[in-house]
């Protein structure tokens, strides 16, 4: 996995930066690829084993995890995220922005990441993913 940089991607380039594979993301809010063409997530949490990307709209939080899924499968399962071939993901319906924050917080806590990154500000990412 690439070396992590705790400084976030500048806000003004969130929507214009080129996507990278999530497992290769090194910065918070870095745009990353999803499974299908044009699918965009943003890296919001990471440690030496895992990278976590999210995207969301008004009522769905999409979470994608890449990295050493085998080593961290118990944490990923504890977070309620489905492990697939080469990545883990889930799409969670949330009734309100508060519920979205609660769900993401619970997922991040369950993943037990060893990271010095701050908690993400989801308002920065609202409706930016595809």
Asked if residues 73 and 81 have their Cβ atoms less than 8 Å apart, the reply is no
Predicted TM-score (pTM) of this structure: 0.88
Q: Work out the mean pLDDT of the chain and round it to a whole number.
A: 86
Q: What percent of the chain has pLDDT over 90?
A: 55
Segment 111-121 shows an average pLDDT of: 88
- Listed in sequence order, the residues at least 6 apart from 117 whose beta carbon sits closer than 8 Å to its beta carbon are 4, 6, 28, 45, 46
Comparing 74 with 57, the larger pLDDT belongs to 74
Least confident of 3-12, 26-35, 108-117: 3-12
Comparing 57 with 30, the larger pLDDT belongs to 30
Rounded (to 5) percent helix, strand, coil in the chain = 25, 30, 50
Segment 91-106 shows an average pLDDT of: 92
pLDDT at 8 over 70: no
């Amino acid at each position: 996995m690439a070396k992590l940089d705790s400084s976030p991607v500048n806000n003004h380039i969130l929507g214009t930066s080129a996507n990278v594979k999530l497992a290769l993301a090194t910065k918070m809010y870095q745009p990353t690829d999803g499974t299908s063409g044009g699918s965009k997530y943003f890296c919001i949490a990471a440690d030496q084993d895992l990278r976590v990307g999210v995207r969301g709209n008004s009522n769905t939080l999409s979470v994608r995890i890449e990295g050493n899924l085998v080593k961290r499968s118990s944490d990923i399962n504890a977070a309620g995220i489905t492990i697939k071939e080469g990545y883990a993901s889930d799409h969670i319906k949330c009734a309100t922005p508060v519920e979205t924050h609660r769900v993401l917080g619970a997922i991040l806590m369950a993943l037990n990441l060893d990271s010095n990154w701050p908690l993400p500000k989801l308002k920065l990412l609202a409706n930016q993913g595809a």
